[in-house]
Structure 1
Amino acid sequence: MHAALSLMSVALFGCTSPQADGATSPVADLAVRLHPDFPTLIEVSWEQLDDAEGHVEYAVEGEDWQAAPSSTLSAGPQERRVAGVPFETPVTVRVVSDGGGAAWESAEVAITTGSPPADLPLPTLLVADDGRAEPTGRFLYASLFQYSPPLYGASWLIIVDRRGRLVWAMESPLDAQTFYVRQSRDGTALMWDETRLFDPEASQVHRMKLDGTEEATWPTPAILHAWTELPDESIVWGSYADGTFEKLVELSADGSRRELWDCREFEEAHGSPHTGCLSNSLYWDAATDSFLYSFFTSMTVVQVDHQTGETLESWGQLSDWTFDPPESQFDWQHGVTWTDRGTMLLSTHVSPESDEVVVREYELDSDARVLRQVWSFGEGEGITAENYGEARRLPGGNTLQNTGTTPRVREISPEGDVVWDVAWLDDAGRPADVVIGRSIWLADLYAFLP
């Protein structure tokens, strides 16, 4: 990946240190160095002289100490990692005791993290209202890629902190794009797609730790954008292997594969004039064991039963559902999900005549077959997204919005206030020539270390 960065690794040493209360730190030969491939991961090692409970912590100048998880420190060699430090940042590291005995702390050592991947644009923080932001969202995990229609360029996986600083990055393999990142359902791994538009049979989905340790790989031939993981570690994706009409395909953990649903059959049943159907989002709903499957080619969202492959419902152009008000009908929709309230949430163009991107939330009136808009955000702000974009309701009630080809991620309160806003800009302050793929909040990074 970025092997040249290993040359920047640094090791500094400390010895045992007496404390103000007379306790002596049981830490000797404290050393730090950078991970050779991920130069914001700091590898910490030392000799533990006595058993103790403690943890590593770090501080960036002008900020509070940040603690890594606590653990039992048995006498002998110890190794830990620090995560969440921005690129090219001086940082101080130490080992400290937990409660239950005499307090102690080790000597402090310093190191500067390495540089980000070449050509990777850096984010700019525009708004940060920490008191109103989602409390479980500390780090934004997203994909970022170059896109000059119809051509794609370099693609990266990135993690950004609440201060809008890049704290982790990895470039996707050569000639591959990453559109759709996820956190594994068990919360212990980063997942991402290696989508190969020019060699579709070679496309894959990966499960990986923060240090690049690969835990699993699933072949996902002809994946275009959307995929999801099920609780049994099956992978489901939209495959265009048979041409421009996708099929929903499931690859089980035992390696067996089945086709769940055929878009060609659905469109023919609805008398569609389209010559293909291609998707941009896929959401699995645990309560109903069904998928929300969104197609940009027909401006339609379909609900598919996981077990039977039956089309349960559809909304949009290939549907008899209407919208209230009529001008709230979605167009070029992306990132379709259900909320905990049972409403449908998505990102959409404000109208067929405009690329302005908005978030719309609909209540479903099944008796009247009406999608009734109950909340929206973004209309009149002038932020456009020719392609991509998404919306997701967060546990605390805020909404995460990204605007795709205008590379910007915002968090919006229920009152419609922007409480966090980060953008990728060029030197003139205009949107950079990159696109945000899927983006999600992570509560912590240590769960993703081996």
Structure 2
Amino acid sequence: MRPGAARAGGRGPGWAPLWLLLAACLPPPLPQPETTERLVATAATSPYVASVLLISVTAPRPASLWIELGTSEDELIAATPAHKGTEVELPVLGLKAGHTYLWRAAARTPDGQRLTSPIARYTTPTSPSGLDSYTVLRSTEASVGGWLLTSVAQLEAPLSWVGILDRDGDWVWWVPAEEGRIPLSPKLSRDGTAILWGEYDLDRSQSTLDRSALIRVSLDGSAREQTRLPLGHHDFVEHADGTIAYLSRSAAQLGQADALPVHADRIDLVPRGAGHDVVPQTVFDTFEDYPYPAVSTCAHMTRIQNTYGSIGPEWTHGNSLLYLDEEDAYYLNARYTDWLLKIDAGTGEVLWQLNGLDGGFTLPDGSPAWESPGEAHLWSHGHISQLWSGGMMVFDNGDHRTKRVSRVLEIALDEDARTAEIVWSYPHPDGRFTPSMGDARRLPGGNVLTAWAGLREITEVTPDGSVAWKARSGRADVVGRITWLPDLARPSPPSQAPPAPAPASPEASGDDPDRR
């Protein structure tokens, strides 16, 4: 497919490739004095990201330098921001897998002369087997566009990747996980220049070697870094000073001396780049800091698991860790217990609990938010990736509801009154259920982006529930958590500000054809 062309069922000519968006960012053309000076440019593929082209440019004198790209010589336009100097390395991002492009370096000197390098050809590698393009099933002008950061896994292979999709459903950036490890919770770094994700052993029963790690790869493909996360799982937080807080595994002997150990969660801290010799600092341990005793409330808690040689049931199954700077507080969501804990980051004290047994919040009318796994009036075994002071987005898997249908929720909190309510919901339009993972985020303007995990779908819906964009994967077993990226060339740090408010209607139905 040529750059910018719409896949069948995808967005039409209004969807411009990355370099078209950059064309307007350069200074207006000036009269071009005659010159015989040329730029020298050499290209190499990033050693860490197969689809990123790194172009080194040398100019005979100081100038503003950029790269021009296209599919024919008469349509080469700016593909990178301009940089001043005589020697620069310019990364070209947003190139579709398996496509051929023409490129050249271009420059403008202070006296208005335009310099160029000879035109060269570059073909991006095809995406690896198992990482197929998505089929775009619906695309409308209501979509906010941008790029989608996610992970995909074929659990039986096991092959997994972290990657970025464009809105044609094509991969434009991808990095494979180490064989036998699954990548979870990819996210943009605080400074907006890198992609971070955790990699965890897929099979923990056959090995006593814990390889859990945080991977950091620069968006421009110029650097890769690893931070060890001993006993890490599921999710992490990057702090402003570079420290990494992450979910780790805790075990305790409860009851009789010969009883199997019970597993739960800790929040541990390690410095960026930590190796095998670093001992994590524990901020919170469920067994020590949670104020109530362990109680089994659902069948998931009775399953016996082997975690690096520690054999026993799992009580909590934490799957989401968030942090708000202005509150200096962590939020830990645990799947099996259905609770969300707000935890003081300095002391490890549980400030409050929403949902689950012993939860401290009610619905606005005073009725309980959670009575049992089958009577969970907010969510049942959910995942949370977006949270702000006073609200959150929840992917509600719905494991214990009588009719198991996964859905997306926006929940409003009143911490003073200790009340919580669903202010927006969107059930899967076909009434389907996914038992693991899942993710939802409200975008600028109010649309909601959802990764439906094992259903292999990604949707963007408007506040009234109309589908603005929808795509499906053909081969990946699981679509991981998802992050919206508005710009690849000029990434901006992620925001903790509240998104646009939910609409007045409390539920978006899937009955309308536009909502499928």
Q: CA deviation at 1:92?
A: 1.7
Q: CA deviation at 1:264?
A: 2.9
Q: Are 1:382 and 2:387 matched, yes or no?
A: no
Q: CA deviation at 1:366?
A: 4.1
Which of 102, 106, 114 is matched with 1:96 structurally? 106
- The number of aligned residues is 415
Give the 3-state SS of the residue equivalent to 1:264 in structure 2.
helix
1:32-47 correspondence to structure 2 within 5 Å: 32-35=43-46, 38-47=49-58
Q: Are 1:145 and 2:153 matched, yes or no?
A: yes
- In structure 2, the CA distance between the partners of 1:407 and 1:183, relative to structure 1 (3 Å rule), is same
Give the 3-state SS of the residue equivalent to 1:181 in structure 2.
strand
The Cα offsets for residues 288-343 of structure 1, whole Å up to 9 and x where unpaired, read as: 11111111111111111101111111122221433469775201211243236x21
Rounded to whole Å, the distance in 1 between the matches of 2:245 and 2:47 is 34
Which of 432, 441, 444 is matched with 2:484 structurally? 441
- In structure 2, the CA distance between the partners of 1:373 and 1:93, relative to structure 1 (3 Å rule), is same
- In structure 2, the CA distance between the partners of 1:29 and 1:95, relative to structure 1 (3 Å rule), is closer
Decide whether the 8 Å contact of 2:45 with 2:54 is kept in 1: yes
Rounded to whole Å, the distance in 1 between the matches of 2:187 and 2:101 is 29
Decide whether the 8 Å contact of 2:48 with 2:222 is kept in 1: no
TM-score calculated relative to the size of structure 2: 0.72
Rounded to whole Å, the distance in 1 between the matches of 2:113 and 2:443 is 39
Q: Could you list the runs of 5+ residues in structure 1 that have no partner in the other structure? A: 1-18, 426-431
1:188-207 correspondence to structure 2 within 5 Å: 188-197=193-202, 198=204, 199=208, 201-207=210-216
Rounded to whole Å, the distance in 1 between the matches of 2:224 and 2:47 is 19
TM-score calculated relative to the size of structure 1: 0.82
Higher alpha-carbon deviation: 277-286 or 343-352: 343-352
1:35-434 correspondence to structure 2 within 5 Å: 35=46, 38-60=49-71, 65-74=77-86, 79-98=89-108, 101-102=111-112, 104=114, 106=116, 107-129=118-140, 131-134=141-144, 138-147=146-155, 153-197=158-202, 198=204, 199=208, 201-210=210-219, 214=223, 216-242=225-251, 244-252=263-271, 257-265=280-288, 269=292, 272-273=295-296, 274=301, 275=313, 276-318=315-357, 319-323=359-363, 328-339=377-388, 342-350=390-398, 352-366=401-415, 368-425=417-474, 432-434=475-477
Decide whether the 8 Å contact of 1:32 with 1:109 is kept in 2: no
Q: CA deviation at 1:124?
A: 1.9
The Cα offsets for residues 120-169 of structure 1, whole Å up to 9 and x where unpaired, read as: 2322223333x5444xx632221111235xxx721111111232210111
Rounded to whole Å, the distance in 1 between the matches of 2:364 and 2:195 is 39
Q: CA deviation at 1:196?
A: 1.9
- In structure 2, the CA distance between the partners of 1:85 and 1:412, relative to structure 1 (3 Å rule), is same
Rounded to whole Å, the distance in 2 between the matches of 1:42 and 1:73 is 20
The Cα offsets for residues 44-90 of structure 1, whole Å up to 9 and x where unpaired, read as: 3455234321311222469883420211242xx65433121001111
Identity, % of aligned positions? 24
Q: Could you list the runs of 5+ residues in structure 2 that have no partner in the other structure? A: 1-29, 252-261, 302-312, 370-375, 492-516
- Name the amino acid aligned to 2:482: S
- Structure 1 vs Structure 2 CA RMSD: 3.1
Rounded to whole Å, the distance in 1 between the matches of 2:76 and 2:378 is 47
- Name the amino acid aligned to 1:317: G
Decide whether the 8 Å contact of 1:207 with 1:216 is kept in 2: yes
- Name the amino acid aligned to 2:347: T
- Name the amino acid aligned to 1:119: G
Give the 3-state SS of the residue equivalent to 1:438 in structure 2.
coil
- In structure 2, the CA distance between the partners of 1:31 and 1:86, relative to structure 1 (3 Å rule), is same
- In structure 2, the CA distance between the partners of 1:346 and 1:22, relative to structure 1 (3 Å rule), is same
Q: CA deviation at 1:205?
A: 1.0
Q: CA deviation at 1:172?
A: 0.7
Q: CA deviation at 1:208?
A: 2.3
Decide whether the 8 Å contact of 2:63 with 2:110 is kept in 1: no
Decide whether the 8 Å contact of 2:63 with 2:109 is kept in 1: no
- Name the amino acid aligned to 1:394: L
Decide whether the 8 Å contact of 1:55 with 1:98 is kept in 2: no
Rounded to whole Å, the distance in 2 between the matches of 1:309 and 1:166 is 41
Higher alpha-carbon deviation: 77-86 or 290-299: 77-86
- In structure 2, the CA distance between the partners of 1:262 and 1:71, relative to structure 1 (3 Å rule), is same
Higher alpha-carbon deviation: 265-274 or 348-357: 265-274
The Cα offsets for residues 376-423 of structure 1, whole Å up to 9 and x where unpaired, read as: 123544243221011122344332211111122222333333323222
Rounded to whole Å, the distance in 1 between the matches of 2:92 and 2:428 is 42
Q: CA deviation at 1:270?
A: 5.3
Decide whether the 8 Å contact of 1:33 with 1:111 is kept in 2: no
Rounded to whole Å, the distance in 1 between the matches of 2:47 and 2:388 is 41
Rounded to whole Å, the distance in 1 between the matches of 2:484 and 2:431 is 25
- In structure 2, the CA distance between the partners of 1:382 and 1:48, relative to structure 1 (3 Å rule), is same
Q: CA deviation at 1:113?
A: 1.2
